[in-house]
Structure 1
């Protein structure tokens, strides 16, 4: 496996998320548990501290032994941490920005974007998926797949979204250390974008991206068993292209995210 520091990757002009091609060694038992945790979280995102009881009632077989620590850490706050520390906590000293979307009516593209990270199971390990989503149209503007949860792959996705689509007025995330890092927030501040962050434990604040995770996992990820990071990256990219271009949404009056994003965007510009 190749490991590059952030500085080495910058000198070589390589994205760190592209030089990790070996899945983490995880036992079949832990992978099965991670999958079950993930499914239950998608069904009960509101559970909070009651999550462990729901898992136990559903036959999750949670034990507090070390082998299951990785399974819980992979989910972080999205798995409502049963054993491990909450990986969505900001790092010490990182600034937390106020939540700006409460009560805000979003009626046009690029008014607000949201971003989140989720875990993706593979045949012999797992990776992380980060996506930037336009809140109005549900369109995925950029995404990255990585085996680490460092800020770098999130920054790359944001930079791609900004380069391709301009900038939103507001950018919303949770309080994870990736999103509170200076490396990440400086990109938004330099672009003069208002930063919004979910309240601690407020699962519904970033529900726009949570709905995307549910769709991606039930329609793509859970139907496959990726053998490598490169296979996961290619297959997820293909699905997200379909999601944007060919999957109608009832919340968009039967339009696809592309139709809602580009069609409404054109009307706003014409007006």
Structure 2
């Protein structure tokens, strides 16, 4: 949440950085809103463990955990979280008719070099009594996190910031995403076209098409996010930055023959000290 008495950053600037409408800063959540957040945290853990679960199976797990919840509420919360399981079901996100989808180009295709294929996706990051959203761009060949951003809303701007930062220094041949509204809107599509990048999108309801990015999110949550109760956005920024820097520069990965992502991504280039994100 926004910190009203932050010693260095004004409320206005915090609202701008976090994509928060200032009129909502003084809103105190009701008991029902608190219950929604509790359920969203549980849905996040269920979906992280079983990304192939649709809303029916997620609801069944919640009921087994003792939560009395109907399918409409599960669907509403999943929509708010920006997720949808693999199983066919109701359309969780009604797209603007001007938004565009593209075919999945990567079936049977293997990333052969840095910047051959990037994946971009959004995930829910829980906090104590609140939550944020993380967008990350990952190079499929090296597993390097090229760029990332956090936001307290699902507004389009934080996705565009992450993408523009990445494209300012590197450019992929192909970028893959799901068919969410952030990745089918004209602003996103036109930016990729201007840069000559091929657009690939997961088949509808197929999170496994972007499995590399999903695996990174799962590891981040189980290794970092779920072990702490973050109360302030800056705590989340610090935790995510620390994890990504360690992931990129210090941790050997089995999937890339126990090399570090940054070593493989940059090759003989001098390694940067941090990824492309600003606080």
Q: TM-score normalised by the shorter chain: which range applies? A: 0.7 to 0.9
Kindly tell me: are residues 69 and 47 of structure 1, through their superposed partners in 2, closer, same or farther at Cα, counting changes over 3 Å?
closer
Farther off after superposition, 29-38 or 155-164: 29-38
1:199-228 Cα offsets, whole Å, 9 max, x none, are 110111111110011011011111121112
Q: Per residue, is there more helix in 1 or in 2?
A: 1
The structure 1 residue matched to 2:177, chosen from 173, 194, 204, is: 173
Unaligned segments of structure 2, at least 5 residues: 3-11, 271-279
- Paired with 2:201 and 2:89, the residues of 1 have a C-alpha distance of 25
Structure 2 distance, partners of 1:24, 1:255, is 47
RMSD (Å) for aligned C-alpha atoms: 3.3
CA distance in 2, matches of 1:205, 1:56: 26
Q: Which residue of 1 aligns with 2:243?
A: 239
CA–CA separation in structure 2 for the residues paired with 1:242 and 1:129: 17
Identify if the C-alpha distance between structure 1 residues 123 and 46 changes in structure 2 by more than 3 Å, giving closer, same or farther. Answer: same
After TM superposition, the structure 1 = structure 2 runs for residues 7-156 of structure 1, keeping only pairs within 5 Å, are 16-18=16-18, 20=20, 25=29, 27-48=33-54, 50-52=56-58, 54-56=60-62, 58-59=64-65, 61-64=67-70, 71-78=77-84, 86-87=92-93, 90-156=95-161
TM-superposed CA distance for 1:253, in Å, is: 1.0
**Distance verdict in 2 for CA 1:251–1:229, change over 3 Å:** same
Where structure 1 has 5 or more consecutive residues not aligned to the other structure, the ranges are: 3-11, 267-271
> Structure 1 240/199 Cα, relative in aligned 2: closer, same or farther at 3 Å?
same
Q: TM-score with structure 1 length normalisation?
A: 0.81
Total equivalences in the alignment: 255
TM-score, normalising length from structure 2?
A: 0.79
Match of 2:209 among 205, 208, 213: 205
1:3-46 Cα deviation digits (max 9, x unpaired)? xxxxxxxxx99994445395994755433322221122122112
> How big is each residue's C-alpha offset from its partner over 1:96-131, in whole Å with a ceiling of 9 and x where there is no partner?
111111111212110000100001111121110000
Moved more, 16-25 or 215-224: 16-25
Sort the Cα spacing of 1:41 and 1:109 in 2 relative to 1 into closer, same or farther, 3 A.
same
3-state DSSP of counterpart to 1:213: helix
